[in-house]
Structure 1
Amino acid sequence: MLNRINHQLNNLPKAERLVAKQVLEQPRWAVEAPVAEIARVAQVSQPTVIRFCRSMGCDGLSDFKRRLANSLASGVPFVHSSVTLEDSVSDLSAKVFDNTISALLKCRNDLSALSLQQGILLLSEAKRIEFYGQGNSGIIAEDAQHKFFRYGVPTAAYSDPHVHRMAAAVLNAGDVVVAVSASGRSTDIIHSVQMALSVGAKVIAITPSGTPLARIATVALGADVQEDVEVYAPMLSRLVQLVIIDVLAVGVALKRGPEAISQLEKAKRSLREKRVRNGEDV
């Protein structure tokens, strides 16, 4: 939350900027202070404080305080350092690890529990699951398919835009598409998602919040990181996408209960039998 306030500070209206500066100066005080006290110290009206909270993507003051408290409790500075040519190996290692930890904690704190619950329910009841992604996100889609086929549900992963467009056209009601995009603006992915929705399938988007893909999806899971994926090779966004996939996979396993465990055991036995036939160590 502190990182978000810093990032948006100069874009806020003048009155909301006063609230933002006060929160940045005394974040722990802001977690405990009532709205009237925050307004008095920042020299603004109480509605301005509420508008500021909504500008930060929160439902209101209580939601803002909860997210701010989570940020402070994490113990990791929400500052994304950039590696420079002068950095030693020790420095660049620390920066990469710190940025990754910060991104994962931010995603954990910001990700909607309701959206996760809706996504897990859709996947646990799906007749067929297809994963769409392109470029680096295509690799994430393949990783997701590798996890979900073990539950005994027909799955497929497509990274070719022509193929996932045709695949989307033959889906049916009860099928689910998981669309992965680091930018949320891929025209090919959006067209395929629109096609899937038009034939009655549901779509879960793992993509930055507020993007065109997120807006049209049945359920949007915000993979929000401060990373320009159009300039740099995806690093933080890739890891955040993978963790969201893991959360969905674990959630579906728990939702499906004994049926999922039975399918996992079946896959494990099949692999063991194949290794025995090939004379490999088990």
Structure 2
Amino acid sequence: MTAPEPAHLHAHLLAAVPSATASGARVLQALLADPAGAAQLTVTDLARRTSTSEATVVRTARSLGFAGYPQLRLALAAAGAHHEPAALLTGSLEDTADLATVVATLAAVETEAVAATARTLDVAALAAAADAVHAARVVDCYGIGASGLLAADFDHKAARVGLVTRLRTEGHAALVSSALLGPGDAALAVSHSGRTPDLVGSARQARERGAAVIAVTSSPGSPLAAAADHVLVATGRETAYRAGAMASRASSLLVLDCLYVAVVQRLGPAATAALRGTYRAVEGSRAAPADPPGSR
């Protein structure tokens, strides 16, 4: 892995949290909270502050693409000048927070997550995933719980441009559907954690049967990512009030929208014709505009 530029360091730190070990995550959280301050700490100081070890700090630096902690410190110092208030970007909300603080915090967290995802998204993996979806005979869309809403959004848009899709938002239904896939098919699995058992099982089964598997997850080191042919990482992390999970939803939606647009580009005029046809199909069912108040 190549070390990120200082301007992109925050995004890489944020993206690394979900798949880090417990001790590694504590180091990353400390760096996220105060990059300029962390740049002043020796490896021993940072290990002590995060209740970890010097070896953990060094491993964390190397996992980010740096040769060692000294190189990470230099990047932290450069990144600190552009750092936003930690209270906003951590997404931590107290029980007594006023609504203005809630709005500002969620806006900051979701904006940063979307921007970080845009900066770190693997465009080559995105293109390969779009090729797989475009070429597929059928595309299974899997998501359980909140991730099911994201899978449903992609399924709806994909169907509008003429793709044959099957939405599965229940674990056993996903397992059954994946057992019927084969070469020339594709499965899109959406999961923030990448660790939902039935979803991971469905992805593994789809791949074993020869289908192309695309994972959209915030955890590139998860079992789901390991089971996929193409991994698209959406930056986001869990916090006490799930602000991180909300941010993950926003960044996952960005990833799925990018995938959708890339597929539409490959479909070309066929997508435009399909959109027109599906629009006409529902146009007649729309309610007539209401008369403006006072018009009668």
Q: TM-score band (shorter)? A: 0.7 to 0.9
> When the two structures are aligned, how many residues end up with a matched partner?
246
Q: Which residue of 2 aligns with 1:122?
A: 132
CA distance in structure 2 between the aligned counterparts of 1:73 and 1:209, rounded to whole angstroms:
28
CA distance in structure 1 between the aligned counterparts of 2:179 and 2:220, rounded to whole angstroms:
26
* Superposition deviation, residue 125 in structure 1: 1.4
Q: What secondary structure is seen at the aligned counterpart in 2 of 1:263?
A: helix
Matches within 5 A, 1:201-280: 201-207=211-217, 208-228=219-239, 232=242, 234-272=245-283, 274-275=284-285, 280=288
1:196 aligns with 2:196: no
Q: Which residue of 2 aligns with 1:103?
A: 113
> Which range moved further: 103-112 or 177-186?
103-112
1:55 aligns with 2:63: yes
Match of 1:177 among 181, 187, 199: 187
Match of 2:92 among 68, 82, 86: 82
- Checking the alignment, whether the CA contact within 8 Å between 1:129 and 1:178 is kept in structure 2 is yes
CA distance in structure 1 between the aligned counterparts of 2:260 and 2:10, rounded to whole angstroms:
30
TM-score, with structure 2 as normaliser: 0.70
CA shift in 2, pair 1:168/1:77, >3 Å: same
* Superposition deviation, residue 55 in structure 1: 1.6
Amino acid at match of 1:206: V
CA shift in 2, pair 1:53/1:261, >3 Å: farther
CA distance in structure 2 between the aligned counterparts of 1:98 and 1:164, rounded to whole angstroms:
35
Q: What secondary structure is seen at the aligned counterpart in 1 of 2:258?
A: helix
Structure 2: gaps of 5 or more residues: 1-8, 39-57, 290-296
* Superposition deviation, residue 85 in structure 1: 2.4
CA distance in structure 1 between the aligned counterparts of 2:220 and 2:231, rounded to whole angstroms:
7
- Checking the alignment, whether the CA contact within 8 Å between 1:165 and 1:192 is kept in structure 2 is yes
Higher RCO (Cα < 8 Å, 6 or more apart): 2
Q: Could you say what the CA RMSD is over the residues aligned between the two structures, in angstroms?
A: 3.8
* Superposition deviation, residue 217 in structure 1: 0.2
Q: Which residue of 1 aligns with 2:47?
A: none
CA shift in 2, pair 1:170/1:52, >3 Å: closer
* Superposition deviation, residue 130 in structure 1: 1.1
Q: Deviations over 1:184-221 (max 9, x none)?
A: 11111111111111211110000121111001101011
Q: Deviations over 1:29-79 (max 9, x none)?
A: xxxxxxxxxxxxxxxxxxxxx9876421x4889xx9xx99xx789885573
CA distance in structure 1 between the aligned counterparts of 2:94 and 2:191, rounded to whole angstroms:
28
Q: Deviations over 1:152-171 (max 9, x none)?
A: 12111111111111111111
CA distance in structure 2 between the aligned counterparts of 1:59 and 1:182, rounded to whole angstroms:
27
Over the matched positions of the two proteins, sequence identity in percent amounts to 27
Match of 2:161 among 142, 151, 159: 151
* Superposition deviation, residue 25 in structure 1: 3.5
Q: What secondary structure is seen at the aligned counterpart in 2 of 1:104?
A: helix
Amino acid at match of 2:205: M
Q: Which residue of 2 aligns with 1:43?
A: none
* Superposition deviation, residue 24 in structure 1: 3.7
* Superposition deviation, residue 279 in structure 1: 7.5
Q: Deviations over 1:198-250 (max 9, x none)?
A: 21111000012111100110101112312159x84841121121111111111
CA shift in 2, pair 1:235/1:138, >3 Å: same
